[in-house]
C-alpha cells in the first residue's frame, strides 16, 4: 500500500467516524484515521488494510504538522527514536499470527514523569533531569510493552506534576515550555497531564497515560474533551513514576472514548512486587466486559450538589447531562458530599511530607546518574538556573516540602488520618451508604481558562479532591461545551468499582456522543448573554 492510498483510506475511515465539529476543521488539521480508536485501528490491521508501522508514521507526521508547526500546541516533549522499530516488530509478530492483545501495534504516549529504560529521558519537565535516562521501565511501561503497545514518545506536563509553586501556570515546564489548548490556543489545558490531554484530543496518538495526585488526569481530560480514568490507589502500580505522594499518586488512561480508556486500563492494572499496595487482593480487570449500553438502568446516582454553582453555563450543561442519565434509567438523588472542607490544608500537608522522601527514593532507584539526589539538590539547581527554571514562578512547594519532618512525625500521621476519615468514612462512604448509591456524579470542573503568566492559574470549581484524597476511582466523560470549550461529567465510586463506573460512563457516552474534534483557533469568540 503506497502513501497516497494510505492517506485516502485514512481520510475515508476518519470521515465516517468523526463527530461534526463546531467549526469546520481545515483539511490540513483533520485527524481522519488518526482520530479513530483502538478497535477500529485493530480491525484495519487485522484485515491487512493497515500496519502499525504506517499508523505510527502517520502519527509522527501529524506531530510534525500540528505540534511542532502549524498551531504548535507543544504537547510532545520528546519522541521515541525507536518507535518505528517497535512498530515494525509488532507487524512482524502479527504476520506470524502472534497478536498480544487489543493494544498490539497501537501508538501510546507517556507523561514525562513515567520512567522508560530506552533512549528517552524521564524528567518531570525539569532541566535538572534533562538527558537522564531511567535505569529500568516503570511497571506500567513494562505492561504496555508486554501488551504490544508502541511507545511513541513523552508528553509535556506541569513541571514536577504541578507541585512546584503556589502560583504556577499549568502545562508549563522548564524543559518543555508551554502546552497550548487545541480548543483555543490562548487557553490552558489544566495540569498536570496537560501534554497527554492536548496530544490525544489533537489526535497525535491513539492513547496516552497521565498521572494524578489530585485532578491531574480528570481536569485536563475534561478541559480537552476526553475520557480520563483516575483509578483506585492500588489498582495500578506507582513504581517508576516520579512521585508527589504515594498515598494519592496513580497513573491512568486518557483517551477519546470510554472504550479506549477501558482497554488501556486493563493493561495498566495489575500487581507489582515493587508496589505492595497493588497486591492487596485480586480484582477483575477485564474492563471490556463493562462496556454495556444499558449499564445506567436502575442505578442510583447521587448528584453532588455542593459541587455545582461555579457558573450558570456549566450548571446548564450538566443539568442536560442529568436528564440523559434519567432517560437511560438512572435514579437521581440530590446529595451533599459531607466534610469536604475538613481536609484542604491537611491534604497539602500530606503531599508536602511525602514528596521529599518519595523523590529521593525515585532518584536512587531509577536515576542513579542524575545530577541531583534529593529535594535540597533540586532546590539548589533551580536557584542556579533561575533564568530558565524560575523566570515565571517560584518553587515554594519544593521549599515547604524540604522543611517538613519525616513520615514518622505526629503531624504527618495526624494529617493522613484526618484525610482518610473525612474523605472516606465520613465523606464518600457515608453519603453513598446513607442513600444507597452506586456512584456520585457532578461537573468535573469548569472550562479552560486563559493562560496567565502574571497571575498564575485561574481554577474554577473542581470535583477532583474527594476521590483523590480518598484514593477512590473517578471517571470523566465529555458532557458538552461552554462557549465552545469542553466540560466533563464525573462518575465517582467506592474502591475498586472501576467496572461499574466504566459501564455507567459508557452508557452515558453512547447516549450523547458529545466529543468534538478541536479546531485550533487562536482564541474563541465569547457569546453575549
Q: Percent of the chain beyond pLDDT 70? A: 94
In a domain, 405, yes or no: yes
In a domain, 250, yes or no: yes
Interatomic CA distance for residues 400 and 6, integer angstroms: 54
Q: Over the stretch 22-74, which tens digit does the pLDDT of each residue have?
A: 345 667 677 799 999 999 999 999 999 999 999 999 999 999 999 999 999 99
Which one from 126, 190, 196, 216 is the annotated catalytic residue?
216
Which one from 52, 165, 192, 219 is the annotated catalytic residue?
192
In a domain, 518, yes or no: no
What per-residue confidence (pLDDT) applies to 1? 31
The most confident of 13-22, 186-195, 457-466, by mean pLDDT: 186-195
Q: Round the average pLDDT of the chain to a whole number and report it.
A: 94
Q: Residue 339: pLDDT above 80? A: yes
> Would you state the cell numbers that stand for residue 471, as one nine-digit string?
484514593
Interatomic CA distance for residues 318 and 308, integer angstroms: 9
Residue 113 Cα to chain centre, angstroms: 12
Span 436-453, average pLDDT: 98
Cβ neighbourhood burial of 99 (10 Å; 0-12, 13-18, 19+): middle
> Would you state the cell numbers that stand for residue 238, as one nine-digit string?
506507582
Which one from 52, 111, 193, 203 is the annotated catalytic residue?
111
Q: Over the stretch 126-177, which tens digit does the pLDDT of each residue have?
A: 999 999 999 999 999 999 999 999 999 999 999 999 999 999 999 999 999 9
Span 367-394, average pLDDT: 98
Interatomic CA distance for residues 399 and 355, integer angstroms: 11
Interatomic CA distance for residues 97 and 467, integer angstroms: 42
Q: Over the stretch 100-109, which tens digit does the pLDDT of each residue have?
A: 999 999 999 9
**Residue 455, domain CATH:** 3.90.1300.10
Whether 236 and 268 have beta carbons less than 8 Å apart is answered as yes
What per-residue confidence (pLDDT) applies to 24? 54
Query: Would the pTM of this model clear 0.85, i.e. be above it?
Result: yes
What per-residue confidence (pLDDT) applies to 460? 82
Q: What is the DSSP string of 210-226?
A: EEESSSTTHHHHHHTT-
Q: Residue 529: pLDDT above 80? A: no
In a domain, 524, yes or no: no
CA distance readout (Å), 212 to 170, 216, 241, 394, 462: 14, 4, 11, 22, 14
Cα angle, residue 483 at apex, residues 482 and 484 outer, rounded to 5°: 85
Span 252-272, average pLDDT: 98
Nearest to 238 by CA among 270, 190, 265: 270
Interatomic CA distance for residues 5 and 250, integer angstroms: 41
In a domain, 234, yes or no: yes
Whether 498 and 235 have beta carbons less than 8 Å apart is answered as yes
Span 301-323, average pLDDT: 97
In a domain, 375, yes or no: yes
What per-residue confidence (pLDDT) applies to 526? 80
In a domain, 529, yes or no: no
What per-residue confidence (pLDDT) applies to 25? 61
Q: Percent of the chain beyond pLDDT 90? A: 91
216 is catalytic: yes
What is the residue range of 288's domain?
3-512
Span 337-349, average pLDDT: 97
Span 450-477, average pLDDT: 96
For the chain, report the end-to-end CA distance as a whole number of angstroms: 52
In a domain, 114, yes or no: yes
pLDDT band at 525 (very low <50, low <70, confident <90, very high): confident
409 is catalytic: no
Cβ neighbourhood burial of 358 (10 Å; 0-12, 13-18, 19+): buried
pLDDT band at 264 (very low <50, low <70, confident <90, very high): very high
Q: Residue 12: pLDDT above 60? A: no
The number of folded domains in the chain is: 1
Q: Residue 14: pLDDT above 90? A: no
What per-residue confidence (pLDDT) applies to 30? 79
> Would you state the cell numbers that stand for residue 276, as one nine-digit string?
505492595
Amino acid at each position: 500500500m503506497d502513501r497516497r492510498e494510505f492517506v485516502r483510506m485514512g481520510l475515508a475511515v476518519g470521515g465516517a467516524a468523526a463527530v461534526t465539529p463546531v467549526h469546520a476543521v481545515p483539511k490540513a488539521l483533520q485527524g481522519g484515521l488518526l482520530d479513530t480508536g483502538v478497535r477500529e485501528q485493530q480491525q484495519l490491521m487485522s484485515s491487512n488494510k493497515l500496519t502499525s508501522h504506517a499508523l505510527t508514521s502517520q502519527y509522527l507526521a501529524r506531530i510534525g504538522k500540528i505540534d511542532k508547526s502549524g498551531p504548535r500546541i507543544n504537547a510532545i516533549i520528546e519522541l521515541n527514536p525507536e518507535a518505528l522499530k517497535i512498530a515494525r516488530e509488532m507487524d512482524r509478530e502479527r504476520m506470524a499470527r502472534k497478536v498480544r492483545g487489543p493494544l498490539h501495534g497501537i501508538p501510546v504516549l507517556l507523561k514525562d514523569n513515567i520512567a522508560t529504560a530506552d533512549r528517552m529521558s524521564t524528567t518531570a519537565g525539569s532541566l535538572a533531569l534533562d538527558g537522564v535516562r531511567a535505569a529500568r521501565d516503570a511497571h506500567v511501561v513494562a505492561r504496555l510493552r508486554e501488551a504490544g503497545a508502541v511507545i511513541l514518545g513523552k508528553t509535556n506536563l506541569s513541571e514536577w506534576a504541578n507541585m512546584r509553586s503556589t502560583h504556577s501556570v499549568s502545562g508549563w515546564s522548564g524543559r518543555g515550555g508551554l502546552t497550548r489548548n487545541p480548543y483555543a490556543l490562548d487557553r490552558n489545558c489544566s495540569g498536570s497531564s496537560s501534554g497527554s490531554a492536548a496530544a490525544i484530543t489533537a489526535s497525535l496518538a491513539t492513547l496516552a497515560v497521565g498521572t494524578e495526585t489530585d485532578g491531574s488526569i480528570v481536569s485536563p481530560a475534561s478541559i480537552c474533551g476526553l475520557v480520563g480514568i483516575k483509578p483506585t490507589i492500588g489498582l495500578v502500580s506507582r513504581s517508576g513514576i516520579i512521585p508527589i505522594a504515594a498515598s494519592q499518586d496513580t497513573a491512568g488512561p486518557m483517551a477519546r472514548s470510554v472504550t479506549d480508556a477501558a482497554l488501556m486500563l486493563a493493561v495498566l492494572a495489575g500487581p507489582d512486587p515493587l508496589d505492595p499496595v497493588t497486591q492487596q487482593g485480586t480484582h477483575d480487570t477485564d474492563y471490556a466486559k463493562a462496556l454495556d449500553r444499558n449499564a445506567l438502568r436502575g442505578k442510583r446516582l447521587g448528584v453532588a450538589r455542593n459541587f455545582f454553582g461555579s457558573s450558570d453555563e456549566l450548571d446548564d450543561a450538566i443539568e442536560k447531562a442529568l436528564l440523559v442519565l434519567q432517560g437511560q434509567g438512572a435514579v437521581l438523588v440530590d446529595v451533599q458530599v459531607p466534610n469536604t472542607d475538613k481536609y484542604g490544608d491537611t491534604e497539602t500537608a500530606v503531599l508536602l511530607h511525602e514528596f521529599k522522601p518519595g523523590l529521593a527514593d525515585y532518584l536512587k532507584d531509577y536515576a542513579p546518574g542524575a545530577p541531583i539526589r534529593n529535594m535540597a539538590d533540586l532546590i539548589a539547581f533551580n536557584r542556579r538556573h533561575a533564568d530558565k527554571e524560575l523566570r515565571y514562578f517560584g518553587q515554594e512547594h519544593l521549599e515547604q516540602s524540604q522543611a517538613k519532618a519525616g513520615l514518622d512525625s505526629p503531624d504527618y500521621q495526624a494529617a493522613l488520618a484526618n484525610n482518610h476519615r473525612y474523605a472516606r468514612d465520613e465523606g464518600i462512604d457515608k453519603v453513598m451508604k446513607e442513600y444507597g448509591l452506586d456512584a456520585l456524579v457532578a461537573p468535573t470542573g469548569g472550562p479552560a481558562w486563559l493562560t496567565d503568566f502574571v497571575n498564575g492559574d485561574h481554577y474554577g470549581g473542581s470535583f477532583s479532591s474527594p476521590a483523590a484524597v480518598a484514593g477512590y476511582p473517578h471517571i470523566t466523560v465529555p458532557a458538552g461545551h461552554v462557549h465552545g470549550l469542553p466540560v466533563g461529567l464525573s462518575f465517582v465510586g467506592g474502591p475498586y468499582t472501576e467496572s461499574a463506573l466504566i459501564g455507567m460512563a459508557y452508557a452515558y457516552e453512547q447516549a450523547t456522543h458529545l466529543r468534538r474534534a478541536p479546531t485550533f483557533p487562536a482564541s474563541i469568540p465569547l457569546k453575549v448573554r
